[in-house]
Amino acid sequence: MKQNKFLFKSPAKISIILPALNEEQRIPPLLNALRSISIDPKNIELIVVDDGSTDDTSLICQQIINDFFPNGKVITKPKNTGKGSALRTGVAAANAPIILTMDADMATDLQAIDTALLALETQDVVVGSRNLQGSTTHGTSTIRRIVTTGFSFFNRVITRHNVSDTQCGFKAYRGPVAKILFATSVINGFSHDAEILDLAFQNNLSIQEIAVSWTAIPDSKVRIIKDSYESFYEFCAYRMKLRKPQPIQGLTVTGQTDGPFLTEEILHSLPDGNLCMQRDSGIEMLFTNLENDNELQLHNDLQRKFPNYELRRTSYSKRDFSEIL
């Protein structure tokens, strides 16, 4: 792993991203369970992305976050755009050095969090697996097991990575890794998990699977046959490069005076959710928050606020990511 020094605006130690669609009944137990894990809720940036729910998912989550997670937030999307899109939105908004993604139904036992954090000390990406020795699954139907195993096998064949379970909703990342991977992803549906792992493999990032305890939850949002067909189509289209990721734009701020560089002042003048790196002569920010699409306005605002500093536009394509990660 590279030794770039990354800067994080949030005081939280970890961001947990939860995509949710009409989960007013199933998500409160997960949010309450997250209050009891080994990490203090004050150190968790809990981000619930309501993907166009028609029930009270946003309201209920906001009430719990207001009471127990001071660094949390609810992002409400006006319409349903898919699990991949919801995860991309959540990761884009995250500000902590470690990012976890998990399903809102708490299918994966939360004891996996401590195991994942330990693995992240030496790995870039950690993937929960229902196939490793030591894992347990409960309530999985035969058709679901066959379809999930078949899709993961299909992905291994065409991508050549060794991840045995691409579709388990529990994954953990070094924060900068997640920001880059999700910012360059294009799939909106359920095969988004497979795309992210393929992007990690292509960028020579280290990936480790960990055994998890997983329970099939009633009233799952996954429609086995229909969603599997759509996932297969999405992933094939991605591999055929029918949609190409755009370069990640950035902005470098460097000092021009002999005085101290105002790192904290500049950092907290930047929008939330973008990836910031400490450079020898200043700060470089990459626009990994997809909600921020007005780079020119930001450039002008910073120039007015810090007139003695030099601002320079940068751009990173896929082949440049090794310089960052």
What is the pLDDT, as a whole number, of residue 297?
A: 85
What is the pLDDT, as a whole number, of residue 116?
A: 98
What is the pLDDT, as a whole number, of residue 73?
A: 97
Mean pLDDT over each residue of the chain, to the nearest integer: 87
Residue 291 has pLDDT above 60, yes or no: no
CATH class label, 5-239: alpha beta
Please compute the mean of the pLDDT values over residues 284-298 and round it to a whole number: 79
Pick the CATH number of 248-323 from 3.30.559, 3.30.450, 3.30.70, 2.60.310: 3.30.70
Residue 71: pLDDT band with limits 50, 70, 90: very high
Percentage of the residues of the chain whose pLDDT score is greater than 70: 85
Domain ranges of the chain: 5-239, 248-323
pLDDT in tens, 195-251: 999 899 888 899 999 999 999 877 655 555 565 657 777 877 787 776 677 789 999
Please compute the mean of the pLDDT values over residues 267-293 and round it to a whole number: 84
Residue 127: pLDDT band with limits 50, 70, 90: very high
What is the pLDDT, as a whole number, of residue 157?
A: 65
pLDDT in tens, 255-264: 866 666 788 8
What is the pLDDT, as a whole number, of residue 99?
A: 98
pLDDT in tens, 145-185: 666 666 667 666 666 678 888 888 899 999 999 999 999 99
Residue 30 has pLDDT above 90, yes or no: yes
pLDDT in tens, 32-43: 999 999 999 999
What is the pLDDT, as a whole number, of residue 1?
A: 46
What is the pLDDT, as a whole number, of residue 239?
A: 77
Dihedral angle sign, alpha carbons of residues 114, 44, 180, 253: negative
pLDDT in tens, 97-106: 999 999 999 9
What is the pLDDT, as a whole number, of residue 136?
A: 92
Residue 311: pLDDT band with limits 50, 70, 90: very high
Residue 58 has pLDDT above 70, yes or no: yes
Which comes out higher in pLDDT, residue 170 or 191? 170
What is the pLDDT, as a whole number, of residue 16?
A: 98
Please compute the mean of the pLDDT values over residues 120-145 and round it to a whole number: 85
